[in-house]
Amino acid sequence: MAEPPRKVGATTGAITTHRVGLGLEGGEPYSDPGDQLSMTSEQRYRLRRRIPLLSYLKQQGWKPAAYSESDEVCGLCPLHRDSRPSFYVNRRKDVFYCHGCGQGGDVIRLAQLLHGLSFRAALATLDDGQEQAGAKRLWSDACEFYRHQLRYSLEAQLYLRSRGIEDPEIVKRMGIGYAPGGCLRAYLNDLGYPRAGMAASGLIDAQGRDRLWRAIAFPIAETASMYGRHTDPADGRHRFLARPKGGLYGWDRAKCCETVIVVEGLFDLASLWQAGFTNAVALLGSHFNPRQRAQLCDGRERTVYLCLDADENGSGPRAARWWSQRLEQSGLRLLPVELPVGYDPNRFFAEGGSAAQFSRYLEEAGR
């Protein structure tokens, strides 16, 4: 188990105060002036305020080993092989220095050294990373807002029960929330997010209206997306944000299983997880994208049960048979599961189907 960061004072004697050998207030930290001198000290100061060095280091996977009584943090150097902490960060000056390799500077210099970038490329990388981090925070805050709304919406709770989803652990694991509509923009605005950032997230449209309204909200973390299922059919059926759907939802839990059950939607998946089928994943539709095919065809021997919706027009079973034949060429044993006509896994369980009954459909698929 990794030792948590410790605060080191005079009693331990391990670290007292190390002078950071490089500060920016007295001059430039670069030996080659080059194009970086076109950036003023004020511009650099604003960037460093926007992207604190310690936060950036942690985003890169760096872990502090100890804190001193002053403003310094130390740890293993990310720039060279280091067996004992020699890399120091001065939080007040927002600069670093390594007593092992002698490198030092600010967050821009660190990005250059870590990734082998020019000054301008490092700036672009930091800006892109900051923008992505801001977008992910906005999405996370929206998810938390929706989860909070679910706790106080009787309408949404009754809708979930009508769909057979009653286990609070499943609701928590999937991060299910409720989008009432008409209030997300004000909430995000109070948190300080700009209008442009809200629009870029897809959660707010160009007119400033909530993209999801009166809808059960399922966060899709891999692509920072969201699936909404309207609680009133008059509002439509469902909608996704304009994002790639990514890989199989729930794959991290199921990828080591010898058998995997693939279903179309997130309500189907919630029903299967609630019934104890933890090896189930959601396709988020009826077609596999390249990433999802690669996940299933990763060289591991497994049996895949494909349980698509048994639509009355036969489209689900036809798609299941087609994918079974296509993926068989990749060495994958994919077995179409045929539920009663008009049923999907969610409806099957919501109307009283049991885990034992569902297991029999799986057995029939394997014959």
Q: Residue 192: left (phi > 0), alpha (psi -120 to 50), or beta?
A: left
**Domain 12-116: CATH class, spelled out:** alpha beta
Task: Say yes or no to pLDDT of 8 above 70.
Answer: no
Confidence of residue 12 (pLDDT cuts 50, 70, 90): very low
Identify each DSSP E strand in the chain by its residue range: 6-7, 66-67, 72-75, 87-90, 95-98, 104-105, 177-179, 215-220, 225-230, 238-240, 259-263, 280-282, 303-307, 333-336
Domain ranges of the chain: 12-116, 131-240, 251-365
Q: What is the pLDDT of residue 244?
A: 87
CA distances to 92, 304, 330, 333 from 300, in Å = 50, 11, 12, 11
Annotation: CATH topology of 131-240: DNA primase DNAg catalytic core, N-terminal domain (3.90.980)
Region of poorest pLDDT, from 208-217, 233-242, 269-278: 233-242
At 27 the pLDDT is: 42
- Per-residue exposure over 5-35, b if at least 16 CB sit within 10 Å of its own CB, e if not: eeebeeeeeebeeeebebbbeeeebeeeeee
Length of the chain: 367
Question: Among the listed ranges 174-178, 222-226, 282-286, 363-367, which one has the minimum average pLDDT value?
Answer: 363-367
SS3 of residue 195 by DSSP: helix
Mean pLDDT, rounded, for 336-344: 93
Chain centre distance of CA 42: 34
Distance CA 241, CA 209 (A): 14
Give the pair of three-digit tokens for residue 127: 């800006």
Cα dist. 27→4, 24, 31, 124 in Å?
36, 5, 11, 23
| Range among 29-33, 59-63, 276-280, 308-312 with highest mean pLDDT value | 276-280
Residue 294 has pLDDT above 80, yes or no: yes
Rounded Cα–Cα distance for residues 152 and 297 (Å): 43
Under a CB-based contact definition with an 8 Å cutoff, are residues 112 and 118 in contact? yes
Q: What is the pLDDT of residue 340?
A: 93
What local confidence, expressed as pLDDT, does residue 4 receive?
43
Of 27-41, 115-129, 153-167, 279-293, the least confident: 27-41
Topology of domain 251-365 in CATH is: Dna Topoisomerase Vi A Subunit; Chain: A, domain 2 (3.40.1360)
Q: Within its chain, how far is the Cα of 155 from the centroid? A: 28
